[in-house]
């Protein structure tokens, strides 16, 4: 099976009323782990290249790692997705390289930090949709902004998505999927108090636009057993807190089909490396 458009995966998720994990990757080891989990669970998967990943390597390296994963796992539907593209040029580059899905994050300007105007977001998203659809590439847009900063992305402030504006945005741009801001944030410190997401926003947007899959960014659950390993072996992650699994499951009931995860992978890798270096200091190979 060739790499598939993300729309194909999300349409199947809509039919089955389930959500699909979308995992940010930077290197071979992450991709191998994600594909092992996909095989075990017999699940489709969305593999994402983020802004931070592009700084670490580049789209060409990441493309061929994902292509290799696809060749090793021909029975698993895989979408190759550009996450948080903040300009038309990087989106075009991804499409020209064969990415089957792109996100244009017009909620921020091209620096990936400064909140944009609604008008700017509509215009840049519409241009990306127009270009991408010529090649059968899925487009994810974003309305509202998440808190926190991770991977070079984020304004640090939360602006929840307005359902009225979301309905207008979908009609004006023709996006295939919409990332909504409902109280999640990037990074490992998502909540200071008890986690609470604005599920009512998801319900209302889904009621108005049931044909468009919704996306949750900043959805790492930050498993406490993984955090404990980091802290046990010299790390310092006090008060790290993620999105409760129950909240993600609730959002899926109301149209969220794509769940973005990045931090969980980073914590798992960090803990494993710290543990090995501590327990086996003589190892170098």
- Residues contacting residue 203 through CB under 8 Å, at least 6 positions apart: 254
H helices of 42-109, where? 51-56, 59-72, 88-96
Structure tokens at 245: 């699994």
Contact (Cβ atoms closer than 8 angstroms) between residue 263 and residue 238: no
Dihedral over alpha carbons 243, 249, 250, 252 (to 10 degrees): 110
Active site residue 83: yes
* Nearest by Cα to 23 from 32, 34, 12, 9: 34
d(CA 41, CA 136): 28
> Degrees (nearest 5) of the Cα angle 121, 50, 178?
40
d(CA 184, CA 252): 15
Contact (Cβ atoms closer than 8 angstroms) between residue 267 and residue 29: no
Q: Which residue has the tokens 């009931």?
A: 253
Q: Which residue has the tokens 């999640």?
A: 184
Contact (Cβ atoms closer than 8 angstroms) between residue 30 and residue 49: no
Gap between the terminal Cα atoms of the chain: 35
Q: Reduce the DSSP state of residue 262 to 3 states and report it.
A: coil
Q: Which of 11, 75, 83, 151 is catalytic?
A: 83
Which sequence positions are flagged as catalytic? 83
């Amino acid at each position: 099976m060739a790499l598939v458009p993300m729309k194909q995966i999300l349409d199947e998720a809509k039919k089955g009323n389930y959500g699909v994990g979308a995992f940010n990757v930077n290197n071979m080891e992450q991709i191998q782990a994600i594909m092992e989990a996909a095989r075990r669970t017999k699940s489709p998967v969305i593999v994402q290249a983020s802004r931070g990943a592009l700084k670490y390597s580049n789209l060409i390296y990441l493309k061929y790692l994902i292509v290799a994963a696809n060749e090793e796992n021909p029975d698993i539907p895989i979408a190759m997705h550009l996450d948080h593209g903040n300009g038309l040029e990087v989106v075009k580059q991804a499409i020209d390289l064969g990415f089957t899905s792109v996100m244009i994050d017009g909620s921020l300007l091209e620096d990936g930090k400064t909140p944009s105007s609604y008008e700017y977001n509509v215009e840049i998203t519409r241009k990306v949709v127009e270009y991408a659809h010529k090649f059968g590439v899925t487009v994810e847009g974003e309305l509202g902004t998440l808190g926190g900063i991770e991977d070079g992305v984020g304004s640090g402030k939360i602006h929840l998505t307005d359902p009225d504006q979301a309905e207008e945005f979908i009609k004006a741009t023709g996006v295939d999927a919409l990332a909504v801001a409902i109280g999640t944030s990037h990074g490992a410190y998502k909540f200071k108090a008890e986690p609470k997401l604005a599920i009512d926003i998801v319900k209302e947007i889904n009621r108005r636009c049931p044909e468009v899959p919704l996306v949750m960014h900043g959805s790492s659950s930050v498993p406490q057993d993984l955090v404990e390993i980091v802290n046990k072996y010299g790390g310092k992650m006090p008060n790290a807190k993620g999105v409760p699994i129950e909240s993600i499951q609730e959002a899926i009931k109301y149209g969220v089909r794509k769940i973005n995860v990045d931090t969980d992978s980073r914590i798992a890798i960090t803990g494993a490396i710290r543990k090995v270096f501590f327990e086996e200091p003589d190892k170098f190979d």
